[in-house]
Amino acid sequence: MKQISILTIAAIIAINLCTTGYAQLNDAQEILTKVDEVSCAPEDQYMKSTMILVDKSGNQNERKMVIYQKGGDKRLVRFLSPADQKGISFLSLPNDLMYLYLPAFRKVRMIASHVKNQNFAGTDFSYDDMSSFSFAKDYDSQLIESSDTFYSLKLTPKPELEKDYSQLKMWVNKDSFVPSKIEYYDKNGNLWKTLTFDKIEKTGKYQIAKQMEMKNLKKSHSTKMIVNEIKLDSGLSDNIFTKRNLKRIR
Amino acid sequence: MNSKRFFLAIAGLFIVGDWLFADNGVSITGYIQTDNRIQTKSNKFTWNENRLNLRLEGAPSDKYHYFSEIRLRGFGFPATSRFSDLQMQEKNKVYPWGLEFREAYVDLYGFGLKNLDVRIGRQVIAWGTADALNPTSNISPDDLEDIFNFGEKLGTNAVNASYYIGDNLTINGVYVPVFTPATLPFGDFADAFSAPMDLPPGMVVRRLSDKIILPERKPSESSQIGLKASTNLLGYDLSLSYFKGRDDLPILSKATITPVDMIGTVDITTELIYPEMQVIGGDFAGSIGSVGIWGEGAVYMPEEVTMTTIAPSPITGQMETTQTVALDDEPYCKFVLGGDYTFKNGLYFNGQYLHGFLHERGKDELNDYFTFRLEKTLLNDKFKIVPIGGAVAINDWDDVKNNYGLVYAPELSYFPSDNVELNIGSFIIDGKGDNMFGMIKGLDEIIFRLKVSF
């Protein structure tokens, strides 16, 4: 099964235009599987992005990074700025393998799963959000509402998985199977984070969300991710997604 | 041109280079750091360092990458003792400063063979999966100048080749042509790694001098090699390694005790050497459930070192020579086991058990250590607090009360903006007996650091 991540859906909402006009689906899990498939449509992706972190006082910090992704289960993220984070690189591989390269220590280090739910480099995305996973694989889906334009789904983590979220609510465009908003609820059932997708523009045969925003309601903190440059289906080599490449600069 | 002017020329090149090479993908980064420490017992400043660290790096193509790091620092305190010291052009005595050529290497990717990467030049080679304390990492010499920053390494000239077989096996071979010794703590902390010298009752040392004997600069004496194979099996990173070279810490091989009067006053002259050794090591990293775990162990096989003592016979008064074993050639094993975990509330814990510290050698000389660190970030990562951090040493489990060492190192960091870190911390040291912390007990310090990256 192809795997995807939030970033795949959000920053790279890749709608294969050839697949428009899906039949109406009533099975919630089938809808979620379609979301995964649509989001994974590009063979590979390369993008340069800017993350803008905004605290409750309106103070902003900026992170720049390049992201390589192949399929739904291989991703490499490399920080370009700020200076004290430059060169820090993160590799996500199938079977939940994650590696971090910290230039100051000159070592590639395996990341254990306890880190997955922690913030990624001070952003409102977690390592889990930045790594590759499948909604359909990780969540059981329940159809709450079906309007003219959206499916509204309630996702609950599969019992064997350890997630910090008790449930997700996802609004999925009926015509494209692209989510427009996701709400994340904590273990007590309180709304914790919201993820919204904006500036959806056509790039090649896909449509790309050039901007998205994750808001952490508990911290009154948000992270806006802006895609500055993107290349799809450019034939990225598997060699990019290796520990060998992790510590190389580009 | 002296070395410091050469450094300034290089530093200037770094700065001009940023403008000159901007379009060629050359990256110039670094940091400025000030580090000041005061000893609470004596109420004296013990560390006064201002550092400019520069890194130049570039990868003009997929075929190669280059990197260099230099460090300019004002370090220490005014040492003027004569009027002429105030008139020196280089101001060395007024404000001691120096430079350090950390690294300068070139990476050649796919060198000759598609799956072969070679790094040539001065470089830091760090092996092992444990945090800071790595029994398998013996190629780059230890930089123990700052005793509270163990795990730091010096650059060494080397050829470092990595061959990748498939996706999951890496063979790493290293050749170091010339041996480089480790640096050691200075001042009050010099005692941490030095076993106390046992002198006969009544003997008083007037003058103590030492001589370090480096290996000859020929391949058979001075060169070192390392081999490592790494893979991932069942979700665990594993490696096996072999090292043949020398211990980077010296050991006493000869002492000449010369009486200077009839009441027991003596001069002592010592010689120290770097013993040869072979090390077979292995390490792993992975997780059990959601807890990160790692382990690293190494069997050290040193050459036997004989200690020659030339001293007056207590019976005849004539100088006589005796020989004892300073370092047995019996293999001994150092190892580390560690783990880390992040709790739901964001509290991070890291702990390690270590058998045999960096400077300890010989089966009967290895002590047990526990290192621990609990940290938490607050207010959107603006603050990081380490309420509990430090290490415990036990050198005799049968009498722990009289044979323990303890370092407690709480710390608070503040990040007012990206690239800026303010840090205040302390080291509170206690202990009894013949162990590293016991020998520097009471030398508690408060530390203040400011670092700005660019």
Q: Which domains does chain A have, with CATH numbers?
A: 6-139+200-246 (2.50.20.10)
Average pLDDT over residues B130-155: 94
A219 CB within 8 Å of a chain B CB? yes
Q: What is the pLDDT of residue B2?
A: 56
Which of B163, B80, B150 is CA-nearest to residue B115?
Answer: B163
**B258 by DSSP, 3-state: which?**
strand
The Cβ-side half-sphere exposure at A92, using a 13 Å CA radius, reads 28
Question: Does the distance separating the beta carbons of B419 and A82 come in below 8 Å?
Answer: yes
Q: What is the pLDDT of residue A17?
A: 39
Rounded to whole angstroms, the Cα distance separating A199 from B432 reads 66
Taking 80 as the threshold, does the pLDDT of residue B7 lie above it?
A: no
A84 CB within 8 Å of a chain B CB? yes
E strands in A104-147? 107-110, 139-146
Splitting chain A (250 residues) into consecutive groups of 10 residues, what average pLDDT does each group show?
Answer: 47 43 65 85 92 93 94 89 92 88 89 86 86 79 93 93 89 87 94 91 80 94 95 93 84
User: How many Å lie between the alpha carbon of B164 and the closest alpha carbon of chain A?
Assistant: 8
Residue B177: Cβ within 10 Å count: 14
Q: Tell me if ipTM is over 0.90.
A: no
Question: Does the distance separating the beta carbons of B167 and A242 come in below 8 Å?
Answer: yes
Average pLDDT over residues B158-176: 96
Q: Measured between CB atoms, which of A162, A219, A249 is closest to B65?
A: A249
Question: Does the distance separating the beta carbons of B57 and A118 come in below 8 Å?
Answer: no
Average pLDDT over residues B225-250: 96
Q: Which helix (H) or strand (E) holds B16?
A: helix B3-20
Rounded to whole angstroms, the Cα distance separating B344 from A169 reads 22
Rounded to whole angstroms, the Cα distance separating A238 from B35 reads 44
Which chain B residues contact residue A117 at CB under 8 A? 342
Q: How confident is the model at residue B125 (pLDDT cuts 50, 70, 90)?
A: very high
pLDDT averaged over every residue in chain B: 91
Average pLDDT over residues B100-120: 96
Give CA separation, A140 vs A33, A136, A171, in Å: 11, 7, 15
Q: Measured between CB atoms, which of B292, B346, B453 is closest to A83?
A: B453
Question: Does the distance separating the beta carbons of B232 and A248 come in below 8 Å?
Answer: no
Q: What is the pLDDT of residue B345?
A: 86
Residue B222: Cβ within 10 Å count: 18
Residue A205 backbone class (left: φ over 0; alpha: ψ -120 to 50; beta: rest): alpha
Q: What is the pLDDT of residue A119?
A: 87
Q: What is the pLDDT of residue B293?
A: 97
Q: What is the pLDDT of residue B1?
A: 47
Taking 90 as the threshold, does the pLDDT of residue B88 lie above it?
A: no
Chain B contact probe: residue of A91, A110, A115 with most B CBs at under 10 A: A110
Q: What is the pLDDT of residue B187?
A: 81
Q: How confident is the model at residue B25 (pLDDT cuts 50, 70, 90)?
A: confident
Nearest CA in chain A to B380: A122
CA–chain centroid gap for A10, Å, is 6
Q: Which helix (H) or strand (E) holds A135?
A: helix A135-138
Q: B309-354 pLDDT, tens per residue?
A: 998 887 887 889 999 999 999 999 999 999 999 998 889 999 999 9
User: How many Å lie between the alpha carbon of B418 and the closest alpha carbon of chain A?
Assistant: 7
Q: How confident is the model at residue B52 (pLDDT cuts 50, 70, 90)?
A: very high
Nearest CA in chain B to A121: B381
β-pairing verdict for B368-378 and B383-394: antiparallel
Q: In the numeric block, which tokens belong to residue B73?
A: 């620092």
